Chain A
């Protein structure tokens, strides 16, 4: 039985104050489960990224309830949220956001260090992970010397290094060529299925639709009905 780790119920998010209010999300509801790759599909400005930041606990919703790992996100203290990000959530950003001053190995090890692992243990585990990804030879290189594809593989390695139960990926294929993009999305799907983890991907890239287990289409902050039967086609 699959278990729900993210629950979004009637969530709205409004930015700004007084007369300059900008509603970004309007009464959004859905759930995400372990073992699935959930695609939040929508054009730029549809509210995908805001939704991801709400799920990660980086922002608070204006209204509605977000439950994360079975608890209302509002009930988490800042320290608990920090600990949760360090131990249970992995992030993949559109522009990779690797730390240029750290080597590839250190970039991956940093999340393990945040998770309380010793330096030796973090480095050993990170090296093994880089080996699994076939990029062990890049361990001592610095991000500016890597190709886009290599950077994205390192970013994925960093996201799953601490065995995160939830991976949040914002436009992970946005800066990549088609083949590299497909490789990454396949990698994420494999991770979600093999490790029974939940991967939520926000993207406007229709080419990756076929790799998703489920699709939620967003437009102007609302979830669209599945008119094209995208989810049925996936079945």
Chain B
């Protein structure tokens, strides 16, 4: 009771502290939800793919940060290997899409629509492409540029009808768009090449054995099973994004601790006489410490509640203002952030408690 009433005696200071701690919690929640959104958006294309093997040029371990160019001839040679049922080439090209004067770069994915391999992981609206003058755009990209089904966009001299809107294709800094392989090759200016080949096997054949066969028949290529290729892409995405995320999240947690420590220390100094009286009257060991912890926990819990309310409003606002910023929040994420906030508040209370050591009993008589 004392712990909370003392804090309430300074409503402005308390509000500012809760506000500051809330901002730190919002920052952490936001970073993690963006990370989750990016993580899913970046690799959803691969995760949802049902192919057995991925063949890329040597040294390219993923499609996010690697260059791979494989000729159509090599693709054809794969078809002849025992156990290979189907081979589907996919070409990734960074291309600028024009909508009137405005333009924006997309991760253009060229695939063979007739094979039904390499297309959008799922469609939110419309259908897949059926011809060379059609395109499927990412949901957030379409929302950002106010593009709808039936609208037209231009890539180089090609005018394309938007026939579908896809989900799980937002990689934060760039979004996927899907066109025919033929068109992608024309845009790139190199006919007969692909970034990778998706290979499906006949039943009964071992992934490892077929992969080894491909490696021995073709030089300069690497073959990955689906799980390994997914892991490679997740690793690339995380290695590029996680350090930044961790740095900012740690800064948020440290700022939270400092804000709380400052408030608690000021409170101890201001209420020094109260603490002296408690001590003189025979407060049990740990009583004053528990007061400080109670204050810290109360502030951080209040701040977490405020942060959660603000965060969900902010996410909704962000979806409207900047739909390409993909966020995803789970109960697990929220629990982790709240737990971190509570742990940091506990640490801040321990930091502040050092001030209690300098409170002397005889001060009550001064």
Chain A positions near chain B (C-beta within 8 angstroms): 49, 52-53, 56, 58-59, 79, 82-87, 89, 91, 93-94, 97, 99-102, 106, 110-111, 114-115, 158, 170
**B285 CB to closest chain A CB, in angstroms?**
7
Please, which residues of chain B bring their CB within 8 A of the CB of A56? Answer: 280
**A14 CB to closest chain B CB, in angstroms?**
15
Cβ A93 vs Cβ B365 within 8 A? yes
Please, which residues of chain A bring their CB within 8 A of the CB of B2? Answer: 99, 101-102, 106
Please, which residues of chain B bring their CB within 8 A of the CB of A97? Answer: 273, 276-277, 364
Please, which residues of chain B bring their CB within 8 A of the CB of A86? Answer: 281-284
Complex: A82 Cα to B280 Cα, angstroms: 8
Taking A53-B362, A93-B365 as contacts, is the C-beta distance between A101 and B285 under 8 angstroms? no
Please, which residues of chain A bring their CB within 8 A of the CB of B274? Answer: 99-101
Complex: A75 Cα to B9 Cα, angstroms: 42
Which residue of B5, B271, B284, B365 contacts A82 across the interface (Cβ within 8 Å)?
B284
Complex: A79 Cα to B1 Cα, angstroms: 25
Please, which residues of chain A bring their CB within 8 A of the CB of B271? Answer: 101
**B227 CB to closest chain A CB, in angstroms?**
59
Cβ A84 vs Cβ B282 within 8 A? yes
Chain B positions near chain A (C-beta within 8 angstroms): 1-2, 5-6, 9, 271, 273-274, 276-278, 280-285, 287, 361-362, 364-365
How many inter-chain contacts with C-beta < 8 Å in the A-B complex? 69
Cβ A114 vs Cβ B277 within 8 A? no
Please, which residues of chain B bring their CB within 8 A of the CB of A87? Answer: 282
Please, which residues of chain B bring their CB within 8 A of the CB of A158? Answer: 281
Nearest residue (CB) in A for B361 is A58
Cβ A114 vs Cβ B284 within 8 A? yes
22 contacts between A and B (CB under 8 A): A52-B365, A56-B280, A58-B361, A58-B362, A79-B285, A82-B282, A82-B283, A84-B282, A85-B280, A86-B284, A93-B364, A94-B365, A97-B277, A99-B278, A101-B5, A101-B6, A101-B9, A101-B271, A101-B274, A110-B278, A114-B282, A114-B287
Cβ A85 vs Cβ B282 within 8 A? yes
**A104 CB to closest chain B CB, in angstroms?**
14
Complex: A79 Cα to B282 Cα, angstroms: 9
Complex: A89 Cα to B280 Cα, angstroms: 10
List 13 other contacts, CB 8 Å, given A52-B365, A85-B282, A97-B364. Answer: A58-B280, A58-B361, A58-B365, A86-B281, A86-B283, A86-B284, A91-B280, A91-B364, A97-B273, A101-B2, A102-B1, A102-B2, A170-B365
Complex: A79 Cα to B285 Cα, angstroms: 8
Nearest residue (CB) in A for B5 is A101
Cβ B362 vs Cβ A59 within 8 A? yes
Please, which residues of chain B bring their CB within 8 A of the CB of A101? Answer: 2, 5-6, 9, 271, 274
Complex: A158 Cα to B364 Cα, angstroms: 15
Cβ B361 vs Cβ A53 within 8 A? yes
Nearest residue (CB) in A for B8 is A101
Please, which residues of chain A bring their CB within 8 A of the CB of B6? Answer: 101
Please, which residues of chain A bring their CB within 8 A of the CB of B1? Answer: 102, 106
**A97 CB to closest chain B CB, in angstroms?**
5
